[in-house]
Amino acid sequence: MLRYLWLTLGCMSFLLGTAGIFLPLLPTVPFYMLALFCFAKGSEKMHRWFVQSDLYKKHAADFMQKKEMTLKAKINVMVTVTLLMGLALWLLPEEMYIGYLIIGTAWTVHVLYFIFGIRTKIKMK
């Protein structure tokens, strides 16, 4: 049963990541990373298929292997996370100070990680 849960979550993440290729608001790389993790937990065959797919190689392989992303991909992920965390802050009641602190800290760590922890891949023409 747990295997099917991992596979379902992996397929949903894969679909969202693929939609992110065409929709600028959805980040492709984080959803592909989640899909990779879920497929590894759910099925060796699905994991192998995903790692060998052109979509994975084009959008997530460099990040997973070399910890690098294009500037466009980094900005896309940071903008999406900022918007989602901003929405969470907006929905929080004003008296939930600890929630503001947690979300603010998570956002700060996320942005710092993407700026300093992930190299920016330079595209050669």
pLDDT digits (tens, 9 = 90+) for 28-60: 888 898 999 999 999 999 999 999 999 888 878
**Span 51-74, average pLDDT:** 83
Q: Give pLDDT, residue 72.
A: 81
For the record, the structure tokens of 47 come out as 């994991």
Reported confidence tier of residue 10, pLDDT bands at 50, 70, 90: very high
Which positions ≥6 away from 16 have C-beta within 8 Å?
Answer: 26, 31
Phi, psi for 121 (deg, rounded to 5): -80, 130
- Domain boundary assignment for the chain: 2-66, 70-121
Angle, helices 28-42 vs 44-52, to 10°: value is: 150
pTM for the model stands at 0.62
Reported confidence tier of residue 4, pLDDT bands at 50, 70, 90: very high
Q: Give pLDDT, residue 95.
A: 87
